[in-house]
Structure 1
Amino acid sequence: MAQEIIEAPIPGKIVSVSVSAGDTVEEDGELCILQSMKMQNPILSPVDGTVVEIKVEAGQTVETGDVLIIIEEA
Structure 2
Amino acid sequence: MKFTVGERVYLRVSQPYLKTSDPMPMLRPPDLVSLEETGEIIALLPNDVAAVRFRRGAFLLPIDHLKSEHQS
Instruction: State TM-score, norm by structure 2.
Output: 0.34
Between structures 1 and 2, the one with greater strand share = 1
Greater RCO, 1 or 2 (C-alpha within 8 Å, sep 6+): 1
